[in-house]
Structure 1
Amino acid sequence: MGDYLIVSRGTASAASARADTLRSQAAAAGMTVSDLGDRAWLAVEGPSPPATLLVGAWRLIGQVFHREHRIVRPDTDQEPWSYERKLLARFWGRFVGVRLSSEGEVAEILRDPCGGLDCIAWEDDGLTLVVSAVPAWLPVPRSWSIAFDRVAQALHDPLLVWEDLLLDGPVAILPGTVQPAPLKTPPTALWTPAAIVRRGATQPVSDAEAAAALTLALDDAVRALALDAGPLAAEVSGGLDSSLVAASLIRARKDVAPWINLYGAEAQSDERPYATALGAVLGIDIVSVPHASGPLNEADFESISHGVRPGLAGIDMHHDRDWAGRLQTAGAMAIMTGRGGDSILLQGATADVFTDLWRARGWRALTSPALPGLARLNDRSIWSLIAGARRPTEARPARRNEMIAPIGLPTIPHWLGDCADLGPAKILQVAGLIDGIGRQSPSLQTRVVNVLTPLLSQPVVETCLALPATQLVLGQRDRGLARSAFRDRLPPIITERRTKGEMSAIYGRMVADNLDFLRPWLLEGQLAEAGLINRAAAETMLSRGNLIWRGTYGEIMTAAAVEGWVRTWSQRLRPRARSARPRGSPPASEASDHRHRGYWPD
């Protein structure tokens, strides 16, 4: 999806003049500009530039769909923000909302629950700016600086990249949140995953009803996205998630092209036999292309680092560039994918699933028909599962990136901070949802086409959050409910498949083949200069021996992408003062914000 820029001004003549100057600059940059009110205007740009829909006093900006089947409503009209809660139950998509004051200024900002469109705001000399991205032509306040304490936290736990910004100055509006003006006013969360989980626990349904609800939610989401997409392509990996999406998509549109499959050189990353079987059942022609690779360089990382967040969603740069070119050549304006299914459909049928059941039902969990299957699947005795579930809940160790200097007490992502009463399987599902939201962030591919992710849409997300973990796996299979619900639409080779495609060898080779670049990039970069890199540990991790025996590709590429972002934004913010911490000093052990503290579960 394209980007938006909202500028709201106060009454001062200087603010009016600055707003007019920015309006002229936005138009000169190719953005389409329109008035929102007497003191606010909107600029948008493509691909698929955000549209505007008026709903009551709210102007919704982005891609907005009417909810055909709602499951979440406020309990009463007397709830705070009851109208906005109803709005989020009635509409879904990728959007932000603004409500104007009687004077025509931005009074409140709203972001949709699934966060497919970013929302960043700041105030500067009588102006309020709300953006999805900060283009290079847009001046930023001199007070902005890189928040190295939050950079350190995010290097250990990359989920934090998708929440609060790694910049001091602007404010990130979180998904499902309303932010009043002025921005120093505390925000209000209108929607959280944990609230959906709790609501679902009070409204149990049968397995058949759950399967029907999942099918309906996915069909609704796919149809809405597909009919709004223009020329549309689809990714078909050969795995379950993209197959589910394809089975729904073929019912919504017959003109999808190309259906494209990615394969790697290793057997575990080559799923062409499964994609071929799917194509035969659905009656579609699938084009298989090899994973594109090549040497990494500074320009590659710079190309994904202009966003207000590090470009973790765009790390596979050669692949993104290759697919962007192929889709452009095919004339596609959008591509539909199965991203997010592993988490929201519950890929792991682990012992944690029984722990969730135990926490919900106590000793009555022993009567669950799921218990024997979970024991067999995890190669555990039933008594071992029970013993594990009965252990007192303890904070799990925080995620640690060994090449990064130690930090103080870790920060918990906001949504996980609201999950203390949930079981570990549901906590993992929520963590996966946070990661999925981040994976919708800009990349070299999204600059060219609109990337659609129906499994991360609000109808599907709410349906799956509301179902207990045992029902999502049907007691014995990863994504068991989804397999059962779509059994009649997919070939048995996919619904009964026990293995999963694995791309780790591809990314391992990417790191190994580029160690000569990655070593100086990290050991002599700005993260090292700021004291965030543990040089001895990094030297060990950036070796072929470590890659063979321990992997750690993700930690290395995360650090490399964050390094690129820090370099890019340090250059953009010069000669502004950087974060006030002397060279080589450790990051602050306590961040100066309002976030929850504790440990993030593995």
Structure 2
Amino acid sequence: MGDYLIVGEKAGSQASGARSTSLRDQCRAQGFTVQSLGPRSWLAARGPRPLKTLTVGAWTLVGDVLNRNHRQLDPASDLEPHSYEKKLFSRFWGRFVGVRLRGEALDAVLRDPSGSLECVTWHDDDLVLVGSDIPGWITPTLPPQTRIDFNRVGLALADPIRVWSDLLLEGPRVVLPGSILALPAEDPATLLWRPDTFAHQSDRWDMAPAAAADLIAKAIDEAVAGLASLSRSLGCEVSGGLDSSVVAASLTIAAKDKVRLWLNAWGDDTGADERRYVADLGLQLGMAPTHVPRAQASLSEADLLSMSQGVRPGLNAMDWAYDAAWAAQWQAAGVDAVMTGKGGDSVLIQAATADVFTDRFRSQGWRSILSPDLPGLARLNQRSVWSLIDEARRKSGTRLAGGEAAPGWALTTATREELGPAHPWLSSDAASGPAKTHQIAGIASGVSFSAPSRQTAVVDVFHPLLAQPVVEAALSLSPAQLTLGAKDRGLVRLAFANRLPPSITHRRSKGDMTAFYGRLLAASLPVLRPWLLDGRLAREGLLDVAALEQALKPEVLLWRGGFGEIMIAAALEGWVRVWADRLSQAAKTLTA
């Protein structure tokens, strides 16, 4: 989608005009297009597709703004704070940030609930800045006290969802999805949109499966059609899995004539080759997929540094060879935007685990044991009915944070209690059951798919299953409804049964890339081992070097995997090195 920078001059500052003009010239030199937002504020933007602006009341919305087909209004009184902005989030969806002027000064900023467009802000005595990133050339504008917060880095290493919550920098402020923040940022932002607002509707157990399936199908069709309308020429990932197939099926109805490339990547291992499912999908949808071998290459230090140049660690750029290869494919096909099925695992609830029944027990109490789905769920999880009931009874009064188990070699000097919940959407007052909490955590992490990568540098990447219409519809349904009691993503299978081939709707297995990535990491060990074992994270005491050294052995990687955990650590290491150098250079510039 591209990058943006919004700059406002502070009233009463004599130096603000000169500094604003200098910064505007720097933006133009970096390839940005600059436009005025008012007498003392302006917007600079660049990227694969120009950012648009839309005036809505007092707000200037920057990015993609789409009208809602079916509005989900929070029954808040018009007298409540920020009622206008809450209604704005129910009237529009898309990928945007908004800024509001009071007089000639920037007064507030908001970010749409999807979080697809990053939003950070910082200020000094002369200027207020809001941007999608903080590149090296603009670092001298940061507050002098800006530093890396190694407590946050340690917790992000143990629980990566924290990468998408607060910044790992002390100084600039992040505006979370669905939030409003007064400018210049002194007080905490206010969450106007929260997942639990919609999750509380999931106590509606009386909705029939057919009605719930229709709700999900309409939401997906709205998201796909809306995002497709933003592009002239599209590409679509078709992995062979359910989520990408659902998006492809919806896309053939909404904008099939715009699609120039249906792209599938296959690996050498049986579990990594899903071409037979893609072939069935092609026959069903009347499209011709292109199959390419999955790119593979060992890592270099330059790769590790390049993936984490942004304001957050580059967790969306960890599959470096694949990312570069697909960027080239899209460019060669003349594609300007790409549709993916990413996020569906979390939003639509892939795993029908015992937690599905625990959520039902929390909502319905002991009458939940009469559910006809309970025996099937027990069989699916190879458990007894009584063990599921006992687990649900024990968990029913607990509050859950939604974080994953940390790798054994991740250390931190701070505790979760000291730094609060992993994400504000998972705060202790949002008391959802474990399955719903896991869904919300996945949605919070879903912003990672819109983070910078080699693909996002050349094409716009759309993730319709993480768009606001789909997220709100899925949140409003219980895990039992989304799984039809005992089927992973059972509801969306039902919703698209007439649009997809039986081989995909009846499929229960998933593509398995464990061996593939194990080989890639093993080939990269000559770079990865010194990168991590002798790196900054280790020197800060955030890694158990002895335990990590055991994990970084070829035989362990090939048999146990661990690609994600190790690459997250590698990306965090790269980010720390980049920002340590960046802040050091900025300090030298300011003192020169």
Tell me which interval the TM-score lies in, with the shorter structure as reference length.
Answer: over 0.9
Match of 1:231 among 233, 248, 254: 233
Structure 2 match to 1:14: 15
What is aligned with 2:278? 275
- Residue 537 in 1 paired to residue 537 in 2? no
1:555 matched to 2:558? The reply is: no
Q: Residue type matched to 1:388 in 2?
A: E
The one-letter code of the counterpart of 1:123 is H
* 1:53 equivalent in structure 2: 54
| CA–CA distance in structure 1, aligned partners of residues 60 and 205 of structure 2 | 33
Mark the CA change 1:419 to 1:294 in structure 2 (over 3 Å): closer, same or farther.
farther
Given the superposition, is the C-alpha separation of residues 47 and 398 from structure 1 closer, same or farther in structure 2, using an over 3 Å criterion?
A: closer
Deviation at 1:356, TM superposition (A): 0.3
Deviation at 1:75, TM superposition (A): 2.6
2:504 is the alignment partner of 1:503:
no
The SS at the match of 1:197 is helix
| CA deviation vs aligned residue, 1:307-339 (integer Å, no higher than 9, x gap) | 000001100011110111111011001110000
Counterpart among 360, 364, 367 of residue 364 in structure 1: 367
Alignment partner, residue 401 of structure 1: 407
Q: Which runs of 4+ in 1 moved over 6 A?
A: 395-398
Distance 1:551 1:123 in 2: 44
Q: CA offsets per residue over residues 454-482 of structure 1, 9 Å max, x none?
A: 00000000000000000000012100000
Please list the CA deviations of residues 29-60 of structure 1 after superposition, one character each: whole Å capped at 9, or x if unmatched. Answer: 22111111121111111111221011111111
User: Deviation per CA, 1:382-428, whole angstroms, max 9, x where unpaired?
Assistant: 22211111114456796323223343422422111156521100011
CA contact (8 A) 1:62 1:96 kept: yes
In structure 2, stretches of 5+ residues that fail to align are none
Does 525-534 or 307-316 show the bigger shift?
525-534
Matched, 1:444 2:454: yes
Match in the other structure for 1:3: 3
TM-score, reference length from structure 2: 0.95
Aligned residues: 577
Task: Name whichever of 446-455 and 301-310 sits farther off.
Answer: 301-310
Contact 2:399–2:432 (CA<8 Å) still a contact in 1? no
1:350 maps to 2:353: yes
Q: Any residues of structure 2 matched to 1:106-125 within 5 Å, and which? A: 106-125=106-125
CA shift, 1:25, in A, is 1.2
The TM-score with structure 1 as length reference comes to 0.93
Partner of 1:23: 24
Distance in 2, matches of 1:366 and 1:404, equals: 40
- Map 1:91-240 onto structure 2 (within 5 A): 91-102=92-103, 104-138=104-138, 139-141=140-142, 142-201=144-203, 205-240=207-242
Partner of 1:581: none
Q: Is the 8 A contact 1:143 1:576 kept in 2?
A: no
Identical columns (%): 51
Instruction: Please list, as runs of the form range in 1=range in 2, the aligned pairs for 1:309-388 lying within 5 A after superposition.
Output: 309-388=312-391
Matches of 2:69 and 2:206, distance apart in 1: 21
Which residue number in structure 2 is paired with residue 391 of structure 1? 394
Answer whether contact 1:258 1:330 (CA < 8 A) is retained: yes
Counterpart residue identity of residue 304, structure 2: F
Inter-partner Cα distance in structure 2 for 1:203 and 1:34: 51
SS at match of 1:565: helix
In structure 1, how many angstroms separate the alpha carbons of the residues matched to 2:348 and 2:512? 18
Partner of 2:497: 487
Greater alpha carbon shift after TM alignment, 382-391 vs 397-406:
397-406
- Determine whether 1:572 maps to 2:579: no
Query: Partner letter of residue 99 of structure 2?
Result: V
Aligned to 2:425: 415
Q: 2:244·2:341 contact (CA, 8 Å) conserved in 1?
A: yes
Residue 477 of structure 2 is aligned to residue 474 of structure 1: no
**Counterpart-to-counterpart distance in 1, 2:155 and 2:330:** 37
- Residues 398/473 of structure 1: CA separation in 2 closer, same or farther (3 Å cut): closer
- Aligned-partner Cα distance in 2 for 1:202–1:577: 56
Question: Which segment drifts farther, 132-141 or 509-518?
Answer: 132-141
* Partner Cα separation in structure 1 for residue 382 and residue 256 of structure 2: 44
Distance 1:404 1:84 in 2: 40
Q: Cα deviation per residue 1:414-454 (whole Å; 9 max; x = unaligned)? A: 11115652110001101111121122211111001101100
Say whether the 8 Å CA contact 2:201–2:477 is kept in structure 1: no
Say if 1:194 and 1:419, in contact at 8 Å, map to a contact too.
no
Aligned-residue offset at 1:295: 1.6
Partners of 1:297 and 1:419 lie apart in 2 by 44
- Is the Cα contact below 8 Å between 1:419 and 1:427 reproduced in 2? no
CA 1:548–1:254: 2 relative to 1, 3 Å: closer
- Evaluate the alpha carbon distance shift between residue 254 and residue 550 of structure 1 in structure 2; reply closer, same or farther with a 3 A threshold: closer
Distance 1:63 1:555 in 2: 33
Supply the AA of the counterpart residue of 1:262.
A
Residue 226 of structure 1 and its aligned partner are, at CA, apart by: 0.8
